[in-house]
Structure 1
Amino acid sequence: MQLPVTTREFDAGIDIVSEGQTVTQCCILIDGFTYRYRHTLEGKRQIIAFHVSGDIPDLHSLHMCYMDHSFAATTRSLIGFISHDAVWNLCMRRPNVAAALWRETLIDGAIFREWIVGLGRLSGLSRTAHLLCEIAMRMRAVGLAPEGVYRLPLTQHELADALGLTVVTVNRVLRDLRIAGLVERERSRMTIRDWRGLARLGEFDARYLHFRVPIAMMPIPQPERA
């Protein structure tokens, strides 16, 4: 069954869906990099999730069509839009598809839980290391991070708003990671030099991502156990 998909490109910094909207379609990130965020009453932004190609960032809108957060692009991104009616019809006809979409929402929840622990209990250095590991694994899973090298189209302001840090702190943390020989960043190109060291620092355990491919088969090795 072929779904009716309409596509549209969005420039960096442009909202794809805004908080307060009532939506009648789901978005699929075909190409690019996006994030979800909310603003406080004082206007401070908190980024609550990043998304890579293949993700369906607003799948929850099938059940909750009122958007309680915004969804924007960090770089020029191609988005596919599918009406809720079409998705519901597909789920009714193909129970295996409905199960796959339900699994997607559960993994999304697992990532949220991991972020909450990091924001509440990890140091700025550790939570930055954890985020870089997560993005590397998620991009590697869709073929976008060969040999631990991937495009990270995020400004230091965006990293700060995701990590709950100041821009000055993010700059210092990235410098410390580079000096320690763990990563190297050149503009939007991120290279992980020492995966085991970075994962250990970030207390990163990829099991919360629930990859169907066994973790042992992932090209990037997992942190050693004590």
Structure 2
Amino acid sequence: MNPAHHADRLIRKLETLAALSDEEKEALGSLPMSVKVFGADQDIVREGDCPVECCLVLEGMVFRYLMLDDGRRQIMGFYIPGDIPDLQSLHIKIMDHSVGTLVTTIVGLIPHQSLNNLNARYPRIANALWRDTIVDAAMFRLWMVGLGRKSAHERIAHLFCELLMRFKAVGIAKDALTCEFPMTQTELGDALGLSTVHVNRVVQDLRADGLINLRGSSLHINDWERLQQRAKFNPTYLHLEGRGAAE
């Protein structure tokens, strides 16, 4: 990615949440950022760390997770280009979870002090970042409902719907019904509380019903309306009231 465009990911994401002036975009573009490449299955930040910078996903995909003492893992969210998965570290001293990569991922590391200074000078940017954490919390609530009350078919279909909408909102979906999907069935199981065998069975069912196609690391939704119905998916919780709503 061209260094001049590193901040474009963040600007595009924040524009799904709020309107930004040219001056605010310029301020975001001037944020100091060191770019780092992580291989697949590497931690960007670990539980117990005391980070002094936030990571902006530029390319690739990451996930938030916790490990139990016996090695079992719970994935609590997937994050795409434009997301800052550890934005909470601006206000908490010690990380209480880890963030790792699904695939080779490029991130921009932004010093906390620079973000705090930006927020103090531009309240609308601060509000947009605060709104981003609210949407993140809304996704957690839906995740909890899925784990507690939805069937395996509904959980997986819901994740498919959510990811497509998020990719489209920031303008990086492959087309209107296709997006990146680099997760393995093991990672889906760790996220949705299912065994790998159960995940495989559900994915095959959704394929057989003509709802989706999974090829390599790409997800194509064949029938959006039916998949939404299967998932009981209502996108209101994503609060795409800016650019993403129109798209």
Name the TM-score class by shorter chain: over 0.9
SS in 2 for 1:147: coil
Instruction: Kindly indicate whether residue 194 of structure 2 is the aligned counterpart of residue 175 of structure 1.
Output: no
Looking at structure 2, the residues matched to 33 and 150 of structure 1 have their Cα atoms a distance apart, in angstroms, of 12
Q: In structure 1, give the amino acid aligned to 2:176.
A: E
The residue type paired with residue 118 of structure 1 is: G
* In 2: Cα distance, 1:213 partner to 1:3 partner: 22
Matched, 1:48 2:101: no
Secondary structure at the aligned position of 1:68 is classed as coil
Shift of 1:212: 1.7
Higher helix share: 2
What secondary structure, in the 3-state scheme, does the structure 1 residue paired with 2:84 have?
coil
1:203 to 211, 226, 232: 232
AA aligned to 1:124 is A
Post-superposition CA distance 1:126-184 (Å, at most 9, x none) = 10000000001001111222121111011111111111100000000000000000001
CA distance, structure 2, for counterparts of residue 201 and residue 143 of structure 1: 25
1:95 aligns with 2:123: yes
Q: How does 1:1-226 map to 2 (within 5 A)?
A: 1=27, 2-145=30-173, 146-213=175-242, 217-218=246-247
Note the aligned Cα RMSD (angstroms). Answer: 1.2
Deviation of the 1:215 alpha carbon: 7.5
Pick 1 or 2: higher relative contact order, CA cutoff 8 A, min separation 6: 2
Opposite residue 52 of structure 1, the aligned amino acid is I
Identity among equivalent positions (%) equals 45
CA distance in 1: counterparts of 2:154 and 2:119, whole angstroms: 40
Tell me the distance in 2 between the aligned counterparts of 1:215 and 1:89.
27
Deviation at 1:124, TM superposition (A): 0.6
CA contact (8 A) 2:169 2:244 kept: no
**Quick one: structure 1 residues 197 and 57, their matched pair in 2 at CA, closer, same or farther if it must change by over 3 Å?**
same
Unaligned 5+ runs, structure 2: 1-26
Amino acid paired to 1:182: L
Amino acid at match of 1:40: L
Q: Which runs of 5 or more structure 1 residues have no equivalent in the other structure?
A: 219-226
Please report how far the alpha carbon of residue 96 of structure 1 lies from its aligned counterpart in structure 2 after TM superposition: 1.1
User: How many residues are aligned here?
Assistant: 218
Q: Which 10-residue stretch deviates more, 4-13 or 206-215?
A: 206-215
The TM-score with structure 2 as length reference comes to 0.86
For the residues of structure 2 that align with 1:176 and 1:39, how far apart are their CA atoms?
30
Deviation for aligned residue 1:217: 3.4
